[in-house]
Amino acid sequence: MGMFSWRGRSKTPRPDGDSGKLTRSDRKAVADELAHWARSRRGVEVFVEPKTAVTETSVVLVAHDGEFTRRRIGSPKAAQKFAHDNALPIYDATLVGYPQRMRDFSRKQTIMLQRMEQDFFDG
């Protein structure tokens, strides 16, 4: 569990060509990475973000402490399958929003980073 994993950085492959669609192997890699992330944390919930004009459908996995990761996923149906296969509760982010613990975690990380930067420059 890395300190900056909340920023959603990933080694997941980029989409094939300019189509914006994930290839089958990309979808498998994303599902495997998300499953690993979920298994290594407690109380994980899945929040589905709908496709927009600028982004594809994505999921946000949020752990009990608010740590989260976001990945693009093929469709809402793929998100449901992922949640079912991994026995995780799933929510529509547009209907329920995001849990407060996720915002609290982000804020704590921002404060920690600011303190580290201040210590570095004061040091």
**What is the mean pLDDT for each group of 10 consecutive residues in the chain (123 residues)?**
38 49 83 96 97 94 97 94 97 96 94 90 80
Query: Radius of gyration (Cα) for the chain, nearest Å?
Result: 16
As for how many domains the chain has, the answer is 1
43: left (phi over 0), alpha (psi -120 to 50) or beta: left
Alpha-carbon span 39 to 1, nearest angstrom: 11
How are beta strands 45-49 and 90-92 bridged, if at all?
Answer: parallel
Residue span of the structural domain in which 87 resides? 5-122
Residue 19 has a pLDDT of 55
